[in-house]
């Protein structure tokens, strides 16, 4: 079976950069902050064969393990941060479903490129009271509380809902997350948008869902050593190797998504290169990979 080759939904943000040209997301020098790859999300649905994924990949193709979801459970994307993203937090399903009519957002990041000294803000340096955190928001000194983590290519971070975080400038990464675009901004460096307006903050909501503690890195304890992240919404695997007719088997339980984050080769005879994303329906059977490839795969299991 031939894969569905993805045409992503691209977007710009005031913090975006110009590195995604290398990943085939543009042929010009336009700024691209995010490239939404396997995306069924409102406002950024990707395409395949010239049609929206919501049309060409219906629920019956997701697999039996996904049939309880009203929406496709995953969103994947490239993010190029030329400048710091806002300090933000995402709510859990429990809070989001009750108050926002939305799923929450647990996510994970795989670092692809990092300029010297670049990193992430992940959690707090020490446990902090809500009153103290609120004071730092009002004073514009939230950064003083955050824990900064330097990064290098292929570092992996799993970020449960409720974790305060921000991607630092100079980082390009691949994100796997719940299918949700629900974000509460806590602090945005007093930046203004293209119209000169301060971007809205969501401090009151953020304070209800934020974990005001130290971030502890999560490492999956799985027999499959390719698994780099796992939750009820997705299982993410990482492969960095020379493939020679290596077969993956896609059964009836789950779809299989792939993104090439290094090298080039073929998947079921189709040429693939850096930045390409492709999708197989549940029950697709054997998927054969060849080439010097670095791959990220996402499935339900």
Catalogue the active-site residues.
185
53 to 74, 141, 249: CA distances (angstroms): 13, 42, 22
Cα separation, 179 vs 74, whole angstroms: 5
The token pair at 21 is 């040209």
Give the Cα separation of 110 and 176 in Å (integer).
8
Run of H or E residues at 161:
none
Q: Find out whether 200 and 103 touch, Cβ atoms under 8 Å.
A: no
Per DSSP, the three-state class of 158 is strand
One DSSP character per residue, 210-242 reads -B-SB--------SSTTEEEE-SS-EEEEEEEE
């Amino acid at each position: 079976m031939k894969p569905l080759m993805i045409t992503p939904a691209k977007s710009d943000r005031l913090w975006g950069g110009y590195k995604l040209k290398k990943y085939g997301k543009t042929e010009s020098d336009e700024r691209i902050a995010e490239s939404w790859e396997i995306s069924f999300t409102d406002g950024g649905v990707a395409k395949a064969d010239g049609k929206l994924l919501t049309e060409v990949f219906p629920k019956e193709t997701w697999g039996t393990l996904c049939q309880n979801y009203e929406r496709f459970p995953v969103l994947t994307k490239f993010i190029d941060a030329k400048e710091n993203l806002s300090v933000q937090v995402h709510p859990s399903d429990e809070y989001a479903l009750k108050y926002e009519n939305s799923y929450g957002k647990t996510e994970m990041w795989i670092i692809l490129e990092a300029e010297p000294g670049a990193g992430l803000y992940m959690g707090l340096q020490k446990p902090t009271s809500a009153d103290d955190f609120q004071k730092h928001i009002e004073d514009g000194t939230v950064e003083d509380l955050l824990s900064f983590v330097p990064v290098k290519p292929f570092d992996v971070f799993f970020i449960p809902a409720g974790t305060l975080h921000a991607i630092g400038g100079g980082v390009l990464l691949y994100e796997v997350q719940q299918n949700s675009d629900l974000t509460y901004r806590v602090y945005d460096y007093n930046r203004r948008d293209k119209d000169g307006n301060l971007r809205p903050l969501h401090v009151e909501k953020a304070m209800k869902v934020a974990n005001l503690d130290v971030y502890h890195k999560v490492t999956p304890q799985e027999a499959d050593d390719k698994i780099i992240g796992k939750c009820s919404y997705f299982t993410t695997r990482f492969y960095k190797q020379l493939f020679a007719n290596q077969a993956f088997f896609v059964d009836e339980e789950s779809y299989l998504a792939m993104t090439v984050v290094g090298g080039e080769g073929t998947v079921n005879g189709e040429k693939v290169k850096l930045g390409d994303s492709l999708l197989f329906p549940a029950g697709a059977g054997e998927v054969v990979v060849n080439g010097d490839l670095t791959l990220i795969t996402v499935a339900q299991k």
